[in-house]
Amino acid sequence: MALVPCQVLRAAILLSYCSILCNYKAIDMPAHQTYGGSWKFLTFIDLVIQAVFFGICVLTDLSSLLTKGNDSQEQERQLKKLISLRDWVMAVLAFPVGVFVVTLFWSIYIYDRELVYPKVLDNFIPAWLNHGMHTTVLPFVLIEMRTTHHQYPSRTCGLAAVCTFAVGYILWVCWIHHVTGVWVYPLLEHLSPGVKIIFFAAATVIINIFYLVGEVLNNYIWDTQK
């Protein structure tokens, strides 16, 4: 796919994420006023990650166009750094976290929506915004993977970074419960302490699996093994 269509596509995706974030933050929900605000929800954190990632993509495209035909070694060096940052965010955060949010949310939603997205939220969040937060993330990140080759870090470093993010968020959720006495997600209220540990461990394993899936898919699409 040519550079300009890809550039326009990424810019459109970035604008859509900005719109989703603005509309979500404009909603007057009680949960937004409690400890941690929107930042206690992985969905919101993922939206920020996706917006930042596509912002970096757009910046990379613009930088690439500006440096095209330019012999400045310094500009080339800065562009390579930007591309490396883009690829790292895609590999470690945008793909595994995005796929994890979509997969886990809809799996639990289909089983019992009250455990993850109580029906009362329909009074605050319209259906299109719900899909913007929990559905379109997956096709957007797959489109990006199909249109651009991303250089993945070494598997050890990549998995270590994903584990750090996962454990960090789990600790954040536990800290919020320690401070407020309320779990961020209703599902956790129904689990015993032992089952919670198993659930958190399984979630960490799953997000690492999604990292590996992203690496394999990236290699398959771009045939980097040859």
The SS3 assignment for 148 reads coil
In a domain, 1, yes or no: no
Does residue 80 fall inside a structural domain?
A: yes
Would residue 175 count as lying in a domain?
Answer: yes
Greatest CA separation for the chain: 62
pLDDT at position 69 is 65
DSSP per-residue codes, 193-221: HHHHHHHHHHHHHHHHHHHHHHHHHHHHH
Rounded mean pLDDT for each run of 10 residues along the chain, 226 residues in total: 71 95 88 88 96 96 80 80 95 97 94 89 90 94 92 95 97 96 91 94 97 94 68
The answer to the question of residue 152 being in a domain is yes
**CA 169 vs CA 43, 105, 174, 175: distances in Å:** 12, 16, 9, 10
Contact 158, 152 (CB under 8 A): yes
pLDDT for residue 1: 43
Question: By residue range, what is the domain housing residue 123?
Answer: 6-28+38-224
Give the number of other Cβ atoms within 10 Å of residue 60's Cβ.
Answer: 19
The pLDDT value given to residue 106: 95
Residue 188 lies in a domain: yes
Task: Determine the Cα–Cα distance for residues 226 and 219; give it in Å rounded to an integer.
Answer: 10
Q: How many domains does the chain have?
A: 1
Note whether residue 157 is domain-resident. Answer: yes
The pair of structure tokens assigned to 71 is 């012999």
How far is residue 126's CA from residue 82's CA, in Å, rounded to a whole number?
36
Residue 16 placed within a domain: yes
pLDDT at 102 (0 to 100): 96
Identify the CA nearest to 125 among candidates 194, 3, 43, 185: 43
Report yes or no: 218 and 169 within 8 Å, Cβ to Cβ.
no
Cβ neighbours of residue 103 under 8 Å, at least 6 residues apart? 206, 210
DSSP string, 53-89: HHHHHHHHHHHHHHHTT---HHHHHHHHHHHHHHHHH
Q: For residue 158, is it within any domain?
A: yes
